[in-house]
Every structure is written in C-alpha cells, then in structure tokens.
Structure 1
Amino acid sequence: MTTLATLTRPQKAAAILVAMGKPSASRLLKFFKQDELKALIEGARLLRTIPQADLERIVAEFEAEFTEGAGLLDSADKMDTILNESLSPEEMNALMGGAPLAIKDNLPPVWPQVERLEATQIGAFLANEHPQTAAMILSNLAPTYAARVVLSLEKPVRSEIIKRMMELASVPEAATKLVEDQIRSRVLTESAQKDTSVGQTRVASVLNELDKSQLEEVMSDLREVGMADLDAIRARLFSFEDVPAMSQKARVALFDGLSSELITLALRGTALPLAEAVLSSIGARTRRMIESELGQGSEGVQPADILRARKTVASTALRMANEGLLELPSTQNAA
C-alpha cells in the first residue's frame, strides 16, 4: 500500500486522474505535454493502492494549489481547465494553443442581451456550470441583474459562486470570448427560438390600457378565434381592481413607493374591500391623511384623473413585477 509521504507529484497527479474516472481523465490527458505524459505514466506504474484518507488529502492539496496558483497551473490554464467541462474539445483545443478558433466579428455585446432574459433562466443555466465559469459570467453582468440571478440559485451553489467572484482575477481574453460564444449559442439562440414572452408582453401592454369590461370582451374574442398563449398573456395583465388579490407583502411593496396624493386619487369612488386592501398596506399616519381627504367627497375631481391614477398604480405594479420586486396575483396562483 502506498503512503502519502512517499508519493511524488506525478504520482499524486496520476492518483487524481484515476479517481476522476476514464471519461474526465481522458479529456484532460490530451492537454499534457509529451514529457508530462511520460512522467505521469511512470508515476502510475509505480502507484499502488492509496488509502481513501490519503486520496482525500491529495485532492485537498490539489484544490489549495489550484486556488492559489502555486505552480500547478498559471492563471490562463486554470480557467481553461475549469471550462473543459462545459466547452467542446475543439473549443478547448483552440484555447489551449491548437487550431485557432474562429471568432465572429461585429457581433453585438452579449451581456446586455443576457440582462434582457429572466433572471431565473440565467440562474438555471449557471446552476449547471462550473462555479468558476458562473462567477466569471456574473462578474460581467450589471450588479442589479446579477443580484437577482444570485437570489434564484440554491444556497450552497450561491455561496460557492460568490466566493469565487471575490477571488476572481483577470480572465484571459480567449476564455472570455469562448464563454460569450457559448452563451450566444446555448442561451440567447435557444431563448430566441423558444421564448415568446416578448410578444406576450407586447400584447399584454396593449390590453392593460383597456378598462375591465373592455378587457374581458377582447379576451373573449381572442379565445373564440383560438389565439394561443392566452393564459400566459393573462398572467401579464393587471388592473387597479386586482389589488385585493395581491399578497400583503406585494401590496406593501407597491404602495410604499407611491405618493399619498396618487393613492387618494385612485381610491376615490372605489368599493370598500378594494379601499381597505389599499389602506391596510400603508402606514397609519398616511392612512389617516388619505381617509380624511376621502371623507371630504370627490366634488370637482375629474373621472379621467381618477382613471389615470389607477392606471399609474397598475403600471407601477407591472414594472415592479418585471423587475422581480413583487409578484402579481396571476403569478402567485400559477405557482
């Protein structure tokens, strides 16, 4: 049985490759130089059974040197090796100094396009990537958007990615270009083919301008002609009358940023349940002010101004929902 103290560095490397298994090890071996392969082979021939505890120490030693860059890999090789799991052999070969990879010219920047997608979609993509790759991607996104992506991740994955973001050094340009190319082909292209949310949002923005009776009439007509995705469109619809269906948390988030004058105007002429749903979501002092104002009647207030105030509340709710700041009742019910 081989002991940890007697192992050479090539033997330790051979032990790690054996522990990785044939598929992963075979992908790595192609990137070793000839003299390195010779050292590995010679080390492996002399290798005997290694206790599990010693193997774990070898792996821990490798991880420590990998993170600190203590002679195992330089900064470029570190990123290249990590990306091996998610990139094709041809791309890795180009990155490691083989045939040059053709980079598309005159392409628009990839990161603003990513930020137009749902944060949960990017979170699902990053959850299947190596944490170092995910850290590099998040570091290129706007902080507000990146924060929403991070919150969509499971806690263990989230913590590991944030840790690597803090430790992330300069990423080689070739590695950055390869990651951007992967995002274009695996995320943006697929989204363009499958995601119809842009059209749904466009239709919903038009329908949200209708009053309740007009909206129901149009939705009924669309159902009769067999329009697809009506449920998805309805999930993007919201009017002031839908406020009572919102959760208390969502209502507080919505009305916390609205002026008391706007809320007062929107509440004029409303039924008691709707008024109470709104008033119960604001502070006691503001509520007393609004109730006092409403008690003086609506004489001289134009109906068009009331309608405009209610549409402002609704459009604010839709904007906040799109930004991930609250959930609309249709979204909650669909979950």
Structure 2
Amino acid sequence: MGLPVKLTQAQKAAAILVAMGKPSAGRLLKFFKQEELKALVEAARRLRTIPQAELEKVVQEFESEFTEGAGLLDSADSMDRILTDSLTPEEVSVLMGRSEPPPASMEEVWGEIEKLDADRLAQVLAREHPQTVAVILAHMSPQAASKVVLVLGKAQRGEVMRRMASMGQVPPAARTVIEKRIAEILRTEANGKDTSAGQARVASVLNEMDKEQIDEVIGDLEEAGSEDVAAIRGRLFTFEEVVHLPQKARVALLDGLATDLVTLALRNAPKDLAEAVLSALGARSRRMIEAELAMPADGIPAEEIIRARRRIAATAVELSQQGLFALPSAQKAA
C-alpha cells in the first residue's frame, strides 16, 4: 500500500537515511541526539512502501543524491539494520526503550528467579501453563520452590505437583524455551512492569466479540509482533467452548448461576452445547430449564441471548484466574 503524498519531516529524514544505505547513514546517525533518533525510528516504523516517484520528490527536496530505481520497502526493518550496524547493543537498547539484557548465564537466570518474593513469583506463574511452572519449580532449590508451592492456587498446585512427580529428563530444547521465559519474567520484574493487567484488558475486549472477530484481531496482534499473544489467548473464552471443559469445570462454572440466565443462554443453542451445560446441573435445575426451553422463544431478542452467553463466559474467565480450572485456550497455547 502506498504512502500518502504528504510526509512528516521525520518520515522524510527516515526515508533519506534508509535510501542512503547503512555505511553513509551510520556515519550520520552519530550526529543525531537521542530524541531525534527516537523520532526517526518511530517515523520509519510508520513507513511501508514509498513509490519511486514519491521518493524522488523527497530526495529532490533534500537536494541529495539518489541512486535511480532504488525504491523503498520495509523501512522499519531497514532502519533496524542501520541502527544495529551503527550503534552498540546497549545504545540500541536505550534508544528503543528496551529493558536491559537478561543475565549472561543460565545459572544467573535460575539464581535470579529464586530471589523474587514467593508471593509475587506465584502470582506471575499463575498465568503460565502447569507444565512450565512444574519445570521451573523442579529446577529451583527445594527451599525456594516450597515457598512458591504454598501460595499457588489450590487447583494449580495439585496439577503442578502431579506434573513434577511424573516429570522425566527435560529435553534441552524445552529447557531453553523455559529459560527464555524466565528471562522475560526477570526483565518484566526488573522494569517494575506487570503486563497482566493490560493482557486482561485486551482479553476482556476480545471476549465481547464473535469468534471470527477474535481470530481477526489476534491475527493483527501477531502481525504487529506482540509478545502478549499467547497470554491473551489463554484468557479467551466463549460460551460455545463449554463443550471443551471437563465435567468438573462445567459444574464449578454453573454452580451458583441463576437458572434464568442459563436458560436464556441455551436458547437456540446446538444440541451438544445444550447437553454439555445441562449435564453439569442438578436434576431439579435441569428439569426446570428443559421445561422452559420447550416453550417457544418468540419475542426474545438475539442480543439478550448473546449477553447471557457472554456473562457466563466472563464468569468462566474469572474462575480460571482464581485457579479453579484451566480454560481450553490456555491449554492450547501451552
């Protein structure tokens, strides 16, 4: 997609630097202030493809030389390469607002994770898959691991300990993935940044959408390079996914919900979904709801049925965050 004819000064400067190539641009970058470099990087990330004619206009405006036919594609990637080749990793990290690199050795990574407060570490691990938590705890010292286990949610604790008990030798590739995740946790903690609140906000917005819409937005997040996609997926749940919950989880979800809410949510529901819900209810509640569903549903707005289903889905998300059960999306993301 082409860019608008009108470019900002920062975008024009970024276009010129990328067109010049790394050697020349690298020499020029040394003379920019940090604020100016940030503005250039942000401008480059907003650029996509600049038509040849547009690029020539920019070049003429700056009265610079330009090699004919170069064009300009993927400005953000090109700017990244220029910065990487021209500046030290530390300078790039500061420029981009990134956190400090993780500890140099994996021994330091495991040592640093044990220094975290047990309550805080348990809170962070509550968002991870039980297998990930099991591997982390298995590689911590027994003293540090025991403190974390005691403050894990009851449901998560049992699942994690079960996996630890049956765990064999962790493959090197899996250990590398776990260690990378630990390094990310440490960077987050070092920055005092807890992304769970933001992930929850995004998930709550997505949970108000249809599945097709959710998939579309998740795809946009992935294309944007979001590091929170897996965590957000783990918080997603729709009423239709009740069929994928274990019976025990369905009972926990429906326990305490008003029968009229459940009845409304089951209006026009597929037979397998209705049976999954009804099978988790007591005999008396089931008979009442089935009697209501046997009556005509004329006059009930579709919007009310959707709202009822979303209320039940939101309840499932809340219960999962309390550790009562895992959502199907969290299990798939692991």
Q: TM-score, normalised by structure 2?
A: 0.47
Larger Rg: 1
Higher relative contact order (CA 8 A, sep 6+): 2
